[in-house]
Every structure is written in C-alpha cells, then in structure tokens.
Amino acid sequence: MVILTLNCGSSSVKYQIYDWDAREALASGVVERVTQDGSAIKHKARGKEEYEKQQPCPDHEKAIQLIISTVLDPEHGAISDIDAIKAVGHRVVHGGEKFAKSVLVDDNVLDTFRELQSLAPLHNPANIMGIEAARSVLPSVPHCAIMDTAWHQTMPQKAYLYALPHQWYRQHGVRRYGFHGTSFLYTAKRAAVLLGKDPFETSLIIAHIGNGASINAVKNGVSVDTSMGLTPLEGLIMGTRCGDIDPAIPFHMVNNAGFKSDEVERALNKKSGVLGITEKYVDRRDIEEAAAAGDQQAALAIEMESYRIRKYIGAYAAALGGVDALVFTAGVGERGPTIRHKAVEGLEFMGIKLDKKRNRASRTKNAETIISTDDSPTRIFVIPTDEELVMTEDTYALMQGTYDVHTNFQYSFQMPDYQNMERNGCIDQDIEKVEGLEEIVLGGQRSARVRDPECD
C-alpha cells in the first residue's frame, strides 16, 4: 500500500511516497516556485539519481500533477501505477479548536479550514489549495488532514488564554494555539523510548529550531505550553519572524513612521528574525561563517537567538517543576552545535549539563544522540524529527478506522524496538566525517546499523 503525503506552502509543495507494507519511503521531493516563474521539481526516488525538471506550475493543481507524473515516470519514478496510491495525507498548519486529532477530509472539514484562514493567513490558504488540487487530481482515494495545532489542544486555559478582553476569545478565537505539533509528537514519543519511561510519565522541553522555531513544554506526555501563539509569529527568534516583541511596536510604526498595517505585518513575518538582525542572512551556517569572519551583526544574531531559547527553557523548567530531558530537533536543532551550546550555557544550576565534546560531534539528521554529561540530572537529546512518518501513520490509521487522539493511540516509533532503517543505513557516512559521533549515537540504533549504498 502506497501513501502520498503533501505539505503545501504558498509557493512550494513538498511530498513523500511511502510504501506502508515495506515501511520505507520510495521517493520524496519538492516543487518550488509554484505560481511563479521558473517553477521546478526536485525529486529523489530510492535507488535512482536525483532528478530535476523545470515546468510551469501556475497553480497547486499543476504542481501536484507534476508530482504524480514524476513519481510514475519509468526512468525517474517510484511507482508504476497511480492506483497504487491508496490515500493522501495533508499537512494543515491551523486547525483552531475544532480539531484535537487528524481527520478524514470532506467538504465540511474544508469549510472549517476556510473559516480559520484569518488565524493563519500565510499558511492555511495554501494548505486548502493543496487539498483541493489533490482531491481533483486523485478523486477516488481518501484524503486526510494532519494539523500542527492538534497536539497542543491539551494545554490548560491558564497557558493558552491571553490577558485580553475575554469576548475576543469567545467571539474571535483569540488564544494560543501552538504549531509544529507533528514534530513535537514524534520527538516526545521518541524521547520517552530513549529514557526507558512510559510516555505519559515523562516531562520534556522540546526545542524545534529551524527557519520556523518554537519550544514546547510536555508534562506527563502531553503539551501544556508552547511558545507560538495565535499565529506562528510569537515566541522564539526565527529565520525571518521576530518572535516575542512589545505589542505596541506595530502601532508605533504605523502612527509615527508612516507604515501601513500590511507593511508592518510583512516586516514582522518576512523581514525580521535573524534576517532583520543581520540584514543579510537567514541560514544559520552563513551567520556562523560571517560571525567567525568578524561580522558583529551576525555574532549578535547568534547571541540573541540563543538567549531567547535559554529564557524559554528556564521558564518551562519552572512551569514543569522538573525535566527528564531537553530535546533539540529540526534543522538547526539537529545540526547546530553553536546554538545548542549557547542555549544551555549557564543552566548547570538547573541540572542541565552539556558535554561540549558530544555537542560538537552531534551534527546529523540520521541518528538520535545524547549530548549531556553522564552526571547530568536532565538528559539532553538530539532527535531528528520525522513529521512525514506521523502524517503517514495517521493517514493509514484513519483509513483502517483504528486512529484516535495520541493519548489513546500507539505509533510504531514509540515501540522500544523501533528502527528507522533508512537512517540506520545512512549514519555510517556521517560517522566517517565527524569525529566522536559514533560514541554518542544511542545504543539501539548503533547496534542495528546496516550500511545503505543509497547514502554512499
């Protein structure tokens, strides 16, 4: 059985083709510059060379048609018959309070997503366009929606309400929703396995640090607080988003600097974060190189981003009253030792002790590693996220009628003997490049490694 997962942005469509029976990804890729000039697909099928093709995609339907034709291509594709695709899972950023778990998509569900567009104007319209386009291209298979916000529906009112007129919440849904839910779900379940504990007896702080970034407090296996709010703009300093600011700043720029409200909104979402600080860079690797070369604004961006993460770690440790593990995930979290080091610097008094050598060695997306000292009361893990696997498992379970909210549902990756064979096969390549990495790869994965020629 083959399951297609789609992550539709305003100008891109990411995808994965997954063989459920073999438990492996057959292909993945992205169509970039959708609705723009120069649109193209970047595609990689298992056992084949990476493939790129430029083709106009004036809308999401054309992009999804390009994906389907590519995965069916005899030379570059992964499947021989479109009928092999039995279901499609869609990432949806904002489900509001309507959804506490993934759902099968029907017209009523789509109408609800449309009602929520004002809560995620940069994300939900694209998600909706993607679902509509995929239903048009693949009308005979079930389509499922996996919401970023669903994981956070366990937050108590004291965490998700703002100190604003209460009717704003009742009438307009103004509250904290949180995002990156599929990533937090995956890493929370994996952290419990690494700790050898029941997932509902663990307290965690999970930092998803990438271009978009947020941090999550998990108590007894469920989300109790998170840094993103009504929209993905609040919280940590991100690639182009500002995170926490004085709410009066937008009014100041409108009233005193002559900005229009849409200009301020665009600046906060697209021109702020580390890009705003450096005035040049979004990629943290570029920022580190520039800082090493003496760029003071780049160095400041590193300090500011790390400081914001450290403040949230301290706040959430206090809110939880004890932490079993601190987890780093996503692009920077998985491969950014500088940010990790600075984010936990000085937290030894809280029982968070980083091993600097281990931290420097942990730069891989193919292995779960431990970077805390042996005597650290709180473990520090780096766990590469796998949002596509969560989407795939939710989609399959919805098809089978076995799915439920995560507190009543068991994923394959929360089993003690779970192995990601693709990652296991690729970690040797990283070990050859990075001194000290092999010693911090966590035991179960180390013992199960079988070198995969795909990674050579």
Q: Which of 19, 59, 148, 283 is catalytic?
A: 148
DSSP states of 199-261 as a string? GGG-EEEEEEESSSEEEEEEETTEEEEES--SSTTSSS--SS---S--TTHHHHHHHHH---H
Q: What is the mean pLDDT of the chain?
A: 93
How distant, in Å, are the alpha carbons of 65, 140, 145, 159, 299 from that of 391? 21, 19, 8, 27, 37
Q: Read off the pLDDT of residues 414-451 as tens digits, 9 standing for 90 and up.
A: 998 898 878 887 888 899 999 999 999 996 655 555 55
Largest CA distance in the chain: 62
Relative to beta strand 369-370, strand 203-209 is unpaired
Q: Which pLDDT belongs to residue 125?
A: 85
Q: Which pLDDT belongs to residue 116?
A: 84
Q: Read off the pLDDT of residues 38-82 as tens digits, 9 standing for 90 and up.
A: 999 999 998 899 999 999 999 888 999 999 999 999 999 999 999
Q: Which pLDDT belongs to residue 423?
A: 85
Mention every residue, 6+ apart, whose C-beta is less than 8 A from residue 203.
218, 219, 220, 320, 321, 322, 323, 324
87 and 3 Cβ atoms separated by less than 8 Å: yes
Residues of the chain falling short of pLDDT 50: none
Q: Read off the pLDDT of residues 345-389 as tens digits, 9 standing for 90 and up.
A: 999 999 999 999 999 999 999 999 999 999 999 999 999 999 999
Q: Which pLDDT belongs to residue 374?
A: 97
Query: Which of helix, strand or coil describes residue 278?
Result: helix
How distant, in Å, are the alpha carbons of 30, 76, 307, 394, 422 from that of 26? 14, 11, 40, 18, 11
Q: Which pLDDT belongs to residue 422?
A: 80
Is residue 148 part of the annotated active site? The answer reads yes
Hey, what domains does the chain have and what are their CATH numbers?
2-147 (3.30.420.40), 181-382 (3.30.420.40)
Q: Which pLDDT belongs to residue 285?
A: 93
Q: Which pLDDT belongs to residue 448?
A: 53
